[in-house]
Amino acid sequence: MKNIKYIGLILILTSFVGCSEVIEFDPHDEYAVTEADYLQTQEDYETMAVSCYTPMQWLNQLYVIADIASDNAVAGGENASDVISLQHLDDLSQLVPNNSTLSDLYLSAYEGINRTNYLLSYKDQNLQGETITWSSKEAMYGEVYFLRAYYYFALVKMFGNTVLFTDKKLGVSDFGTLQRSPKEEVYTQIETDLLDAISALPTTQDQEGRITKYAAQALLGKVYIYQEKFDEAIPVLNEVVNGPFTLVDTFDDIFLLEGENGLESVLEVQYSNGQPYYNWGGQTRGQGNYAVQQCGIRSLSAESSEMPYNSGWSTNLPTQDLALAYEDGDQRKDATCFDIEAYIAANPTWGITYQEAPYNNTGLYNKKYLPRAGQTSGQVELNYENNHRIIRYAEVLLLAAEANLRGSGSATDAQTYLDMVRDRAFGDTNHRVTATVDVIWNERRLELAMEGDRFFDLVRTGQAAGVIDNFVTGKHEVFPIPQDEIDISGIEQNPGY
Amino acid sequence: MRHTLIKCLALFLCVLSYAQTTNLSGIVQDETGLPIPGANIIIKGTNNGTTTDFDGNFTLKAEIGATISISYIGYVTKQIVITESKNLTITLEEDVSQLDEVVVVGYGTQKVTKVSGAISTVKSESIDQLKPVRVEEALQGTASGVSVIQGGSPGSSPTVLVRGIPSFSGTDPVVIIDGVPQTLADLNSINSTDILSLNVLKDAASTAIYGVKGGNGVIVVTTKSGRNSEKVEISLNTYTGVQSVFKKLGVLNATEYAAIINEGSLVSGGDLIFNDISSLGEGTNWQDEIFKDALVTSHTISARGGSEKLGYFLSSGYLSQGGIVGGSDKSNFNRFNFTANLNLQLTDKIKFILNSSYANIKSQTVAENSFNSILGSAINFDPTVSVYNNDPNDFATYGYSNLLLSEIFNPVQQLDNTYNESNGDKLYGKFEIQYDVLDNLKLTSRFGYTKWDEVGKSFNPLMYYGPNNVSSQYTSDGEVKDGEHNSVTEYTNSTFSYTFEAFASYNLNINEIHNFDVVLGTARSKSTGYGFGATRQDVRDNAWEWADISAATGVNTDENTDAYTGYSYQNLERRNMSFFGRLNYDYQDKYLASFSARRDGSIAFGDDNKWANFYAGSLGWVVSNEDFFNSEIIDYLKIRGSYGTSGNENVDPQYVSITIGGPSYNATANSNGYTFGSTFVSGATVDSFSNPTLAWEVQTQYNFGFDAKLFNNTVSINADYFNKSVDGLLFTDATPLYAGTSLPVDSNIGSTESKGFDITLGYNNNFSDNFSFNTSFTFTTSKNLVTSTNSDGTAFVTGGSYFNGQSQDVTRFEQGFSPGYFYGYVTDGLFQNQAEIDVHATQTGANPGDIRFVDVNGDGTITDLDRTKIGDPFPDFTLGWNLGMNYKNFDFTAFTYASVGNDIFRAYERNAQYTNKFRTILNRWTGEGSTNNPNTPRYTFEDSNSNIRASDRYVEDGSFVKIKSVILGYTLPQDSNNFFSKVRIYTQAKNLFTFTEYSGLDPEISGGILDTGVDRGAYPQARTFLIGLDLKF
């Protein structure tokens, strides 16, 4: 009988036992992989490094707005209220902090920084304090350093002073605690990262699209030139100039699918269509290049299956001003500015029809990235596989020429580099001109039009106010910090916005 | 003479007062003649007394002229002067004033008179009478402070809110069945005749002892238990009835439809669609084809009684309810219940209680509450189509539309091809040991559990909707199209939860003045679940009879990876650990005080906030017990007040997750992977932030109220005012852009406020032995406001999505508004001519006859920014009115429920070019001055003005009065039958009448906070007529 009493007591007491463990949560109960489980093997590190590349793909609009905001292109679209964020970048007088394209670019670049920071913060030790080593670890980290520099360079070009952090991926407790750093500090960090990258990276990679030492040197050279550190740029760029690159004879071929990662390619953002993406909520975040669909001709179709192009949305239209900038005989003109009427006239039997661009019609389309049949899949608008050419050998030559002319370099070298570019453009040596700074700058426009450099070139060379309508000096050198960020993070806005 | 008389009288009195003691004997019984064992009989002014035996008999030595007092819990104490020693038959009346009634509170019971918190009670009589399919039905309008919005689908869960709307999700109150925590969903498996009482704990003082689970109120269900030392009482209840739809929507007939389609086309510059409308006639009324009468049947049998050591309540029930949409074959809810509640007195001091219930639930459902559900199709489908195909040269079985070529199909075909079934087993109950250490100290330990296992199956046959329909899986010559397959899906879900509690109850009485009641305890609980499922294509003969994974033949190939697929999931294992305590004190039943506390630990909370503390206190003053209180009218008056906190653990545990793979479809599109060359390579990245400070939502509530009884206890009033605010409401905060695209986390940043009145008014009078009358009103109101979301109020949640050509979200949970309010454009009549359009704010695409929308923000243009609040789906107040009468052997009960001020958004109008239209279109704008009603703009296919955008055009006042239940019963006189102690036959009508202005089928539309009141073609409640029989023996 007594026993029964004690059973009751024991029952009561047992429930007091082990109270704390009961309410501890272990994510493994949910079969969730957490950061505590990861970065334990070489493969983990390498897999995570792959996703440090991903936000590069998301920045495709950066190359669109750099031409739209300049004299090279207009926003286009269906009407005045279509692609409104691009319209506002086209007419800078309308540019306000609430711009969805700039917001997305800002966010994407910072995601890249958070990803690279995360991997870098566990370089020496993972979360458990273990050190994982393998032979190509430093080389892999060379890619990560490069990528962080790439993302910061995108930010500093667009926004000037920007929030700088390098020690970690931000967590909840960091929200709202950061302020913008002077752009000089950001550039210093970019240089440091690129130098680290250069010292670690190999000159060739097994996989196309992986960052090479040359890509890092080319970017560093460009970063120096943006800071007008020409003498530092010269030796770095010379390494690339003397590298294994050559100019492709037919300019147009560079931008074909077959031309991807070609002889002239120093740095390209890779896209593919094997992983069809359907998420309109993240239209720039798939494996395809959203910018391609944008610049297509509206309702383009043909009776003939030989016509290679798909239709698109008629945004980012080259201006007649750009087309007129090319001399006769310059093969870059037709390879940059696609004249649809001329194309129809040249192919009268194909039965081509299209809808004239309903807004900002220039009659011209961005030939370099015009959407092509058979190069997309799934949700066709989102999955064009065209790579974005970021740094071509031709640009390296022009950068080197500029550095030599503006720094204490060799005018002869500059002339040589310019001649190489122009000889290829005209297919002969009869169109050489004397290399001056202005000539180089103009050549950059002709060579790199619709590739995403023009606005930033005009700003860094001080020509913007003279070229871009409604450009206000002291304001439009940088874009406004996204309003969301101002609201949420309490950081300072750029002057004038 | 006179002296003699006085002397005689004096002598007589002396004789009386010194009279001999007598051996008194008698029997104590209740009003029905059943003996009452254990009744107390005490001679007043002495300590002498006895109790009745098992058969209600007693003997007692008493003096003639003494007064004896006979008392028993739940009955009015009776006093009798002994005049002779003959066998007494003492009949105790049930205590109608119920002053000694007890309510079940957290971890104990309390006398109603000593309660200082706010508690609503529904007694077993009203549950017995109403015979609800689901228990929540019995709370609607009978428990003040509780809002119940019922659905029409058999067995469906209603929306239940206790005192307002604290959040946009997770608003279900916790359900405690015989001390064991369960969920609202578990109420689907309990047989209503097994229930003894329902108590709803409403204020913080009552709920704080449930801590982090108590924030949404607590529904305490007490089931019947055994009765020791009583003869077995067997009850048999049975009823059967017919359910039918009480209203159909006014849609166009075939001729009207064709005419309006022609008009729509012509106005848009198109051609005639129907060249000859004269031959079309009425066409098919699809609602007539899919609404079917359905049976509802219930049988229960129970036995209750016990010996000295063993008490038992055994019950078994069967309930079968068919659905009126599609009929019993396609829509139904069937439940078997078996319950055994046993208590065993193991020793003098130890009692063991074993409650076990098993329920089997089988159901079949039809698609509902969307424009392409069965009902949605019946409302919107082409009326010129015949039900079945009449053309012998066409292999189609069913009629099909050549105009409606997607989304909406022949509803009869849809119905006939709806195949699914689910079969679930639930086992729940408790093991409990009570140990009376001392007379006033009791230890209780119990283990409560709920186990649910469900298996289900559904079949998607190949369908043919005509040659041009995009969803046809056959070509017009009857061949299955390439890549089309039928498929069968089977699944199993399983959940298990338990709660293990131990607590000590101690009461102390000092000098009969100070009463202390103390409870101290601890609890731990766990809930878990998992599920598996598989889908396989190619079911033989395209037939339900062959629909089984084992018989299907689909095999995955490179071309078709969907032939045979499967999934599994694991629920988060939630664990809690808690300590709780309560102290109740009263001073001479006059001054009442209560204090409770609970400390809760939960795995759901962030690492920095593992434990939450909740406190509450209440005070009460029974004014009528004061000596100075002397009122002819007021028999009883108590004033109460309480203040305290409770919580809500609606969160998931936090951790920094890693995602591995490729493109992302989550909210931030945090994609992974990269292309090298043309080869995609998977990547990995951090997918989520972690908020280690994440904590519970805290509800702070204060409550003032009073209870009064007036006019000889015939009138009772209970009234409460409450004000509750939620702080730390879980809301997704805006993440700085520089933090990137990891998934944002919830933070405790929002807040809401609810306040209102709960009032119950009762009148109860036994006018004579033949006639008694009672009536009661309940009044429930709450005003709700979202007081903040994130720091700048920019974060909001949308819901109530529907589709009418465009996806529309029509409800919002947003700072400064009531939860779940309707959001859209405000209309201002119709443009009568171009001049009116010209002077109005710029409204792109507007033509005369189109709706004029209000430029709410005054910027001169009608844009998205002009959307604003256009309605509120939750009522301003609800009323319940219960009326009961007994005349001789007849009983009559009527229950009426009213909901006032609830708006409905009419979202069932699909508005495609060729869908059917509603009769209001016959009053459409046809030219200047024809009408200015924004609900009837011109009709055009083009709709360049987007007249169909979400606007107040679709918002209607859904206020209603429903006569929910009318019962007429007759109890056979007792002497006419010796075997049965009670025989009652009755007839009942449910949802007899609905009075409403709402144009849809049923103004009661349940759903989550963001779905309530959005009528996408909701399953209407049925009108039911039933007859029943209650037997006791």
3 state SS for A138-150: HHHHHHHHHHHHH
Inside any domain, residue B561 = yes
Q: How far apart are CA B46 and CA B44, in angstroms?
A: 5
In the three-class reduction of DSSP (H, G, I as helix; E, B as strand; rest coil), residue A36 is classed as helix
Partner B contacted by A289 (CB < 8 A): no
Q: How far apart are CA B223 and CA B357, in angstroms?
A: 11
Interface of A with B in 168-187 (CB under 8 A): 169-172, 174-176, 178
Out of A1, A271, A286, the one facing B347 most closely (by C-beta) is A1
Question: The tokens 């750029």 sit on which residue?
Answer: A494
Inside any domain, residue B218 = no
Closest by CA position to B595, among listed B519, B521, B509, B648: B519
**Of B91, B120, B154, which one is at a domain's C-terminal end?**
B91
Distance from CA of A24 to the nearest CA of B (A): 5
The Cα-based distances of B359 to B188, B190, B317, B849 in angstroms read 9, 8, 9, 58
Inside any domain, residue B760 = no
Partner A contacted by B501 (CB < 8 A): yes
Domains in chain B, number = 5
For residue A209, the chain B residues in CB contact (below 8 A) are 674-677
**Cα angle for residues B1021, B1026, B1027 (degrees, 5° grid):** 165
Interface of B with A in 161-220 (CB under 8 A): none
Contact A38 B678 (CB under 8 A): no
Let me know whether B814 and B923 are in one domain: yes
Partner B contacted by A23 (CB < 8 A): yes
Inside any domain, residue B602 = no
Closest residue of chain B to A180, computed from CA coordinates: B738
CA A33 and chain centroid, separation: 30
| pLDDT at position B98 | 45
For residue A374, the chain B residues in CB contact (below 8 A) are none
Distance from CA of B733 to the nearest CA of A (A): 10
Partner A contacted by B673 (CB < 8 A): yes
**Of B937, B956, B975, which one is at a domain's C-terminal end?**
B956
Q: How far apart are CA A203 and CA A214, in angstroms?
A: 6
| Residue A393: DSSP 8-state | H
Q: What is the pLDDT of residues B701-735, one digit of tens each?
A: 999 999 998 988 889 999 999 999 988 888 777 78
Out of A8, A51, A272, the one facing B350 most closely (by C-beta) is A8
Q: Tell me the residue ranges of DSSP E strands in B323-418.
A: 332-345, 350-364
Contact B676 A489 (CB under 8 A): no
Inside any domain, residue B748 = no
Q: Residues with Cβ < 8 Å from B471, sequence gap 6 or more?
A: B406, B409, B463, B465
| pLDDT at position A10 | 55
Partner B contacted by A17 (CB < 8 A): no
The Cα-based distances of B30 to A340, B55, B886 in angstroms read 101, 12, 18
Burial class (CB in 10 A: 0-12, 13-18, 19+), B78: middle
Contact B601 A176 (CB under 8 A): no
Partner A contacted by B671 (CB < 8 A): yes
β-strands B218-223, B230-244 pairing: unpaired
Distance from CA of A30 to the nearest CA of B (A): 6
Contact B524 A208 (CB under 8 A): no
Domains in chain A, ordered, with CATH?
A: 38-271+389-467+475-480 (1.25.40.390), 280-388 (no CATH)
Let me know whether B491 and B393 are in one domain: no
Contact B610 A23 (CB under 8 A): yes
Let me know whether B800 and B946 are in one domain: yes
Out of B501, B570, B669, the one facing A31 most closely (by C-beta) is B570
Q: How far apart are CA B155 and CA B334, in angstroms?
A: 9
Let me know whether B671 and B582 are in one domain: no
Let me know whether B924 and B849 are in one domain: yes
Inside any domain, residue B167 = no
Q: What is the pLDDT along chain A (497 residues), one digit of tens a residue?
A: 455 555 555 555 554 554 556 778 888 877 888 998 999 999 999 999 999 999 999 999 999 999 999 999 999 987 776 788 999 999 999 898 989 999 999 999 999 999 999 999 999 999 999 999 999 999 999 999 999 999 999 999 999 999 999 999 999 889 889 999 999 999 999 999 999 999 999 999 999 999 999 999 999 999 999 999 999 999 999 999 999 999 999 999 999 999 999 999 999 999 998 888 888 888 899 999 999 999 999 888 888 888 999 999 999 999 999 999 999 999 999 999 999 999 999 999 999 989 888 889 999 999 999 999 889 887 888 999 999 999 999 999 999 999 999 999 999 999 999 999 999 999 999 999 999 999 999 999 999 999 999 999 999 999 999 999 999 999 999 999 998 899 888 899 999 99
Distance from CA of A334 to the nearest CA of B (A): 27
**Of B586, B612, B627, which one is at a domain's C-terminal end?**
B586
Q: Choose, out of B659, B738, B742, B746, the residue to mutate when testing the contact with A (most A CBs < 10 Å).
A: B738
| pLDDT at position A12 | 53
Let me know whether B486 and B577 are in one domain: yes
Question: The tokens 């010194």 sit on which residue?
Answer: B18
Closest residue of chain B to A261, computed from CA coordinates: B677
Let me know whether B396 and B541 are in one domain: no
Out of B575, B658, B680, the one facing A34 most closely (by C-beta) is B658
Let me know whether B581 and B676 are in one domain: no
Partner A contacted by B682 (CB < 8 A): yes
Partner A contacted by B865 (CB < 8 A): no
Q: Residues with Cβ < 8 Å from B617, sequence gap 6 or more?
A: B205, B593, B594, B595, B596, B642, B643, B644
Contact A15 B669 (CB under 8 A): no
Q: What is the pLDDT of residues B144-179, one digit of tens each?
A: 888 888 888 888 888 888 888 888 877 888 899 998
Let me know whether B942 and B796 are in one domain: yes
Inside any domain, residue B203 = no
Inside any domain, residue B73 = yes
Are B365 and B420 in contact by the 8 Å Cβ rule? The answer is: yes
CB pairs under 8 A between A and B: 240
Closest by CA position to B416, among listed B388, B394, B390: B388
Look at residue B293 and tell me whether its pLDDT is greater than 60.
yes
Let me know whether B395 and B533 are in one domain: no
For residue B443, the chain A residues in CB contact (below 8 A) are 8-9, 12
Q: Which residues of B660-678 are buried (b: 16+ CB within 10 A; e: fewer)?
A: bebbbeeebbbbbbbbbbb
Q: What is the ipTM of this complex?
A: 0.94
Look at residue B63 and tell me whether its pLDDT is greater than 90.
no
CATH number at residue B35: 2.60.40.1120
In the three-class reduction of DSSP (H, G, I as helix; E, B as strand; rest coil), residue B813 is classed as strand
For residue B737, the chain A residues in CB contact (below 8 A) are 103, 106-107, 110, 482, 484-485, 488-489
User: What is the Cβ-side half-sphere exposure of residue A143, based on CA atoms within 13 angstroms?
Assistant: 27
Are A489 and A175 in contact by the 8 Å Cβ rule? The answer is: yes
Print the domain residue range for B671.
658-689
HEC states along B278-331? CCCCCCCCHHHHHECCEEEEEEEEEEEEECCCEEEEEEEEEEEEECCECCCCCC
Interface of A with B in 44-73 (CB under 8 A): 44, 47-54, 56-58
